[in-house]
Structure 1
Amino acid sequence: MLIFLTLLSFLLLLLTLAPLSHCRYWWVRVWEFPRVQLLTIALILAFAASYYEFDSTLWVTCLQVITLGCAAYQLFWIYPYTALSRKQVADAQSDWTGTTLKILVSNVLTPNRQADKLLALVEQEKPDVLVAVETDQWWEDQLKPLEQDYPWLIRCPQDNLYGMHVYSRVEVRDAKIQFLVDEAIPSAHLLLVTADGLEVSLHCLHPMPPSPTESDESTDRDAELVMVGKSVEQRDIPVIVTGDMNDVAWSRSTRLFLKVSGLMDPRRGRGMFSTFHASYPFLRWPLDHVFHSKAFVLKDLRRLPSIGSDHYPFYVELLYHPQQGAQQQKLSRTQDDEKLAKEVLNQVGGHEQHVHRPGE
């Protein structure tokens, strides 16, 4: 039993330390995802080492130091995404007035044939903007009834699990589909203009994840996030970046994106709202996101019921209130962050100027 605990403890240590490297291979980067699961395993191993009586007390103590150290490290990363942490985005108060925007993001899963569930969900929630990814021509045809209430539509149906459709009740201007780092991976960039004249730059992403079936490395995903992040940093109008980022909220790459963009994550201080995988509760983490500029505060944040996909839909309602939003604290950025962002872009020959800035 002691040999078994020892092997598991050192394997846990290896998986915990692996993401510290700058290696971008999928089999390294993937261990940023299951931090909650690794934390749970670490605590179980620490308990097991103390529960059983072994001849070598010193060795058991060493194993407990290793496992509890791993647990503390994993907790460091996920703590900001618990209700115990300070909220990064303020809660909108009932007496605060202003323009609201309701965003619903849904990775529909291309082979999923339960489009009626998404249509019913849209009818129930009535978002201002629906961002649907992994949509092909079949999904476009099934979602056609939405066009009556959502007259502005940006469409890019694809059969490669990277199609994208954006449906909007709010007026859309200067919309553009781009393929920033891969000719098969689209992103949508558009200007929302509300009835009271508020202009919001909306960017919808679905980069390729590092995985054995997708991309051997995280380079393209990380570069797309950095490109968009740096492109929106100096915008003088509010910004929203949303989609299935194929990256967990607590990863170094998402953290870098928040730093270079200056955007806010409404999850921080509220919970994980894990959206993937819908069918496996123990293998679940937050992959679908809505990030926004400081001018917004939060009215509502929810993970919505399943529509038959491997992702749960994600819903955010924002209130434009720049006076209160100005008090919110974005993540601080260092010279090392700038250096890392530049290195990421250089690996794909990318630049923030390649990203369409709607309204300019």
Structure 2
Amino acid sequence: MKTTIVILSVFILIVGLIPVIKKDYWVFRVFDYPRFQKLILCLIILVLWLLLGFNDFGKLDYILFVGVVLMAIFQIYQIYPFTMFSQKMVVNSETGSDFPAITVMVINVYQDNKDYQKALNLIQTQNPDILLLVETDRNWAKEMSVLKKSHPNFIEIPQDNTYGMLFYSKLRILEHEVLHLIDREVPSIQALVELDSGDNVKIFAIHPKPPVPNENPKSTDRDAEILLVGKKVKDYDKPTLVIGDLNDVGWSYTNELFLKISGLLDPRRGRGMFNTFHAKYFFLRWPLDHIFVSKQFTLDSLKIHENIGSDHFPISAKFSLKPKNNNENYESDKEDEDTADEKIENGKSGKS
């Protein structure tokens, strides 16, 4: 038993420290995701050490035990901003306020999922102002065409490579552009919509490639696309949403940098993780789908919805547009700006 505990201790210390190494290879970045799982494993290992007792502890045993204690504390520190005990990054909307509001839903449908009606039922029940569906091919575009009755403004980019997008809006789309920021096979959408109040909101919809060994072994492209959008948001400096499956968790180094560069806010912070992936494995879940907002918004609600047959859960939120509020956003410094510029340049040039 002791040998097993030693092996587990060494393992958790390695996988806990690997993400600290800021390399773009997937083997470093993939361990950004399971922070809560790493904390649980740390606690299990500590219980096993305690059950073993301290009588037969050698010097290495004490080092490993203390190392796992410190790793557990480190994971708690990293998870804390995504708990209800932390300060809310986006403040709650005032009850009964009449500020202009916008509801948004993001669904990674999983391209091979054929349960179209289940997705439609959820969408029609929730009836969001803005709907983004990703991983949508021509079959999904055809089956979702009924939404054009309730959402007459739309942008459709069906693709067979799992990077298709369908954007439906009840709100008027004043202007839009389909972009290919880093990869010509991966589209993104930039749209300006008009609220019923007459206020304008810019929306960026993105779905960058994940760092996985069989498709894209580095996070270079993903990081560059996320940060490039962050730069665009910062230059705009008006009510903005960034939505989509970012293939990155909210607590990663890249997402932290994105918030600093863009000035956007994460409504999860101070409320919970709101995990959207993986829908089929309860022990492997983390937040991959995001709705980021600029400082002019307050939060009415944030929800994870029932599974629609995808490997992702849908996520939706309602925001009120109240420019004068108590939101506190991150600020970037020169080092942050230089790091972001370097990552963007590496993505554009195909470097790691």
TM-score > 0.5 by shorter chain = yes
Aligned residues of 2:230 and 2:262 also touching (Cα < 8 A)? yes
CA distance in 1 between counterparts of 2:51 and 2:60 reads 14
CA distance in 2 between counterparts of 1:82 and 1:57 reads 37
Provide the TM-score with structure 1 as the length reference.
0.94
Count the aligned residue pairs.
348
Provide the TM-score with structure 2 as the length reference.
0.96
CA distance in 1 between counterparts of 2:93 and 2:230 reads 25
Structure 2 unaligned runs (5+)? none
Given residue 65 of structure 2, which amino acid in structure 1 is its aligned partner?
A: Q
| CA displacement at 1:247 relative to structure 2 | 0.3
1:106 matched residue in structure 2: 107
CA distance in 2 between counterparts of 1:213 and 1:235 reads 36
Aligned residues of 2:224 and 2:348 also touching (Cα < 8 A)? no
Aligned residues of 1:49 and 1:63 also touching (Cα < 8 A)? no
| CA displacement at 1:195 relative to structure 2 | 2.2
Residues 114-161 of structure 1 deviation map (CA, whole Å, 9 limit, x = unaligned): 111111111111100110000000000000110011111101000011
CA distance in 2 between counterparts of 1:168 and 1:68 reads 49
1:127 matched residue in structure 2: 128
Is 1:331 equivalent to 2:330 in the alignment?
Answer: yes
| CA displacement at 1:51 relative to structure 2 | 1.0
Residues 168-189 of structure 1 deviation map (CA, whole Å, 9 limit, x = unaligned): 0000022111111111111011
Identity of aligned residues (%): 39
1:340 matched residue in structure 2: 339
| CA displacement at 1:19 relative to structure 2 | 1.1
| CA displacement at 1:58 relative to structure 2 | 4.2
1:188 matched residue in structure 2: 189
Is 1:311 equivalent to 2:312 in the alignment?
Answer: yes
| CA displacement at 1:21 relative to structure 2 | 1.2
Is 1:61 equivalent to 2:62 in the alignment?
Answer: yes
RMSD: 1.2
CA distance in 1 between counterparts of 2:3 and 2:333 reads 44
**Secondary structure of the structure 2 residue equivalent to 1:323:** coil
2:14 matched residue in structure 1: 14
1:31 matched residue in structure 2: 31
**Alignment map for 1:1-360 (pairs within 5 Å):** 1-53=1-53, 55-56=56-57, 58-324=59-325, 327-349=326-348
Structure 1 unaligned runs (5+)? 351-360
CA distance in 2 between counterparts of 1:210 and 1:64 reads 32
Given residue 194 of structure 1, which amino acid in structure 2 is its aligned partner?
A: L
CA distance in 2 between counterparts of 1:69 and 1:339 reads 32
CA distance in 2 between counterparts of 1:186 and 1:345 reads 17
Answer with 57-66 or 286-295: which moved more. 57-66
**Secondary structure of the structure 1 residue equivalent to 2:295:** coil
CA distance in 1 between counterparts of 2:341 and 2:20 reads 19
Given residue 286 of structure 2, which amino acid in structure 1 is its aligned partner?
A: W
**Secondary structure of the structure 2 residue equivalent to 1:7:** helix
Aligned residues of 2:133 and 2:167 also touching (Cα < 8 A)? yes
| CA displacement at 1:234 relative to structure 2 | 2.9
